[in-house]
Amino acid sequence: MDSTARKSEPLLRVEGLSLSYQRGDGRLSVLEQIEFEVEEREFLALVGPSGCGKTTLLKLIAGLEQPTAGQIHLAGNPVKRPSRSVGFVFQEPTLMDWRTVEANVTLPLELNGGNRKRAREEAQTLLDLVRLTGFEDAYPAQLSGGMAQRVALARALVHDPQLLLLDEPFGALDALTRERMGRELLRIWQARRKTVVMVTHSVPEAVLLADRVLVLGPRPASIIAEVPVDLPRPRTAEMRETPACSQVARRVRDALEQVDLH
Amino acid sequence: MSREQLTRIGLALISFGVFLGLWQAVVRLGGYPAFILPPPQAVAQRLVSLVASGTLWRHVQVTLKEILAGLALGAVTATVLGYLLAHSPLAERLLAPYIVASQSVPTVAIAPLLVIWFGTGILSKILVCALIVFFPILVNTVVGVRSVSQDLRDLMRTLQADRWQMIWMLEVPAALPTLLAGLKVGATLAVIGAVVGEFVASDRGVGYLLKQGQQLYDTPLVFVGIATLVVMAQALYGIVALAERGLLRWQKH
Ligand SMILES: Nc1ncnc2c1ncn2[C@@H]1O[C@H](COP(=O)(O)OP(=O)(O)O)[C@@H](O)[C@H]1O
Ligand SMILES: [Mg+2]
């Protein structure tokens, strides 16, 4: 076989993924035959109605839950259990209230028994990146929602995972903060170039950040549309006003509206 | 010392003075004999003589030992069992009915049984203490461990934390506010447990002093005993509260 003709192995490959839960005497089917791939350094956005199974899908990719059928491969290896090759950011800022900002960010390294001094240096670099320099010794209770999510993002990046999973990371924030955080994430991603799968409710956010948007249908969720975002990089927040961007957003919205009609 | 603290101490002294004055007035106006209601000076004299002879300290030491050992035993078993119950729905379903039912049995009623089984020495008192602090600490442990956020658990799992890291770096600190609240309640209950045990059968301890005072109509002695217990309970509560302040500094900002 000609190896040059073959596409290189994608970083993430999801095949025939289905999941159903036991519920009472019946079964609740949450995901049905999900299939997609994510290339290395790609930014993929997932949108879909709430309760359709987006969080569940991310947890499956992270190995936190087991599928009823199908397979997930990360960097060629089947995902069977949680692994440190993913960084996870939850919808709620999931920080440890009893740890300082810096200690929250070093947690992934501490769990691995790494060198403390190195860990603190790494944390410093990331806190600089998410613009929280000077907040090292603050406790989470002192932070705003947006700041807490930036700490969570720094923590998800500190052990340099291959894949970053973001579950509606700005969903709990007010509209203005949310927009600012979208721009921040764009800047951070352009600096780090991680492979990202992000769940979001915001179509403009998805279009601004992602290379590709997958639209999921209502539960049991399957992929009902795939919208490539052919906007040049590096992107800026101003691009949102361009016709090309509106066009992509329109396509995503159309797909979502079809979902509502079902 | 800050102004606020000085004001607080001043107020406490004033209210204590008023209390002594009222007490004195009741004794005077009512004309009660000392074995019914002794005047404050009589109690103070008794206290001084008991302290000077070392008698009070000897008995306090015994009761303190019972309290601390009982509290430690009860707290450790309750925390371990509470942790298991919080994690195993099966264990909870099997054991919860017994644990709840056991709560309707007054500990005072079990104390004589413990004396029969474990003798009139210190062991039976330690067990009464342990028994009485067990339930509130158990309940707080279950509530505390159950309150740990699922997202934080998932986070620890994606970071491949092992079981010990899960316990020491997540569950213990997350449940600590609830655990310490249970320990505070337990600390005061333990004092009651020790005295109950000593009432049933003993030849030393503050509870024994109280019983002596009653039998000899040495009412000042009874008052000294009561005051000693109040101070012990307050001190224990204060120590836990202080530990709480130090350990949970992250809470208030
Ligand atoms: N452990 C579980 N047991 C039973 N049902 C679950 C479980 N986890 C999620 N679900 C159900 O799966 C559906 C999808 O949930 P979720 O993935 O959180 O949706 P989304 O993130 O898209 O809003 C919901 O209806 C939810 O009730
Ligand atoms: Mg969700």
Evaluate whether B86 touches B146 at the Cβ level (below 8 Å). yes
Position A3 scores a pLDDT of 47
- Kindly state the average pLDDT of the residues A173-190: 90
- Do the beta carbons of residue A221 and residue A50 sit within 8 Å? no
Residues of A in contact with B165 (CB under 8 A): 111
**pLDDT of A23 strictly over 50:** yes
The band of A1, judged by pLDDT with boundaries at 50, 70 and 90, is very low
Nearest-Cα residue of chain B relative to residue A61: B158
The domain over range B38-251 is classified in CATH as 1.10.3720.10: yes
User: Which residues contact ligand 1 via a Cβ below 6 A?
Assistant: A 21, 28, 30, 50-56, 219
Q: Residue A232 contacts by C-beta under 8 Å, 6 or more apart in sequence?
A: none
pLDDT cut 90: percent of chain A above it:
76
Residues A31 and A221: their CA atoms lie apart, in Å, by: 5
ipTM of the complex: 0.92
- Residue with CA at minimum distance from ligand 1 atom 27: A51
Residue-level pLDDT at A220? 87
Closest ligand to residue A59's CA: 1
The alpha carbon of residue B178 is apart from the nearest alpha carbon of chain A, in Å, by 14
Q: Which residue of chain A is at minimal alpha-carbon distance from B252? A: A141
**Residue-wise over B106-136: b if at least 16 C-beta within 10 A, else e?**
ebeebbeebbeebeeebbbbbbbbbbbbbbb
Q: How many residues are recorded in chain A?
A: 262
Confidence band of A114 (pLDDT split at 50, 70, 90): confident
Predicted pLDDT at A5: 46
**Which domains does chain A show, CATH number per domain?**
12-85+161-261 (3.40.50.300)
Classify residue A1 by burial, with Cβ atoms within 10 Å: 0-12, 13-18, 19+. exposed
Q: Are B56 and B223 in contact (CB under 8 A)?
A: no
Q: What is the pLDDT of residue A2?
A: 47
Domain edges within chain B? 1-30, 38-251
Who has greater pLDDT, A61 or A24? A61
CB contact under 8 A, B158 and A94: no
Q: What's the angle, vertex CA B128, arms to CA B125 and CA B132, rounded to 5?
A: 145
Mean pLDDT of chain A: 92
pLDDT band at A76 (very low <50, low <70, confident <90, very high): very high
Alpha carbon nearest to ligand 1 atom 1, residue: A21
Q: What is the pLDDT of residue A172?
A: 85
pLDDT for B126-136, tens place per residue?
999 999 999 99
Q: Which residue ranges of chain B lie beneath pLDDT 70?
A: 252-253
- Which carries the bigger pLDDT value, residue A11 or residue A261? A11
Average pLDDT over residues A220-234: 92
The per-residue pLDDT for B238 is 95
Share of residues in chain A with pLDDT > 70 (%): 96
> What angle do helix axes B55-87 and B122-146 make, rounded to 10 degrees?
40
pLDDT band at A6 (very low <50, low <70, confident <90, very high): low
Within chain A, residue ranges assigned H as helices are 54-61, 101-111, 116-129, 145-158, 175-192, 203-209, 243-261
**A261 pLDDT higher than 80:** no
pLDDT at residue A219, as a whole number: 84
User: What pLDDT does residue A262 have?
Assistant: 58
In ligand 1, the atom with minimum distance to the C-alpha of A58 is 17
| The pLDDT value given to residue B253 | 56
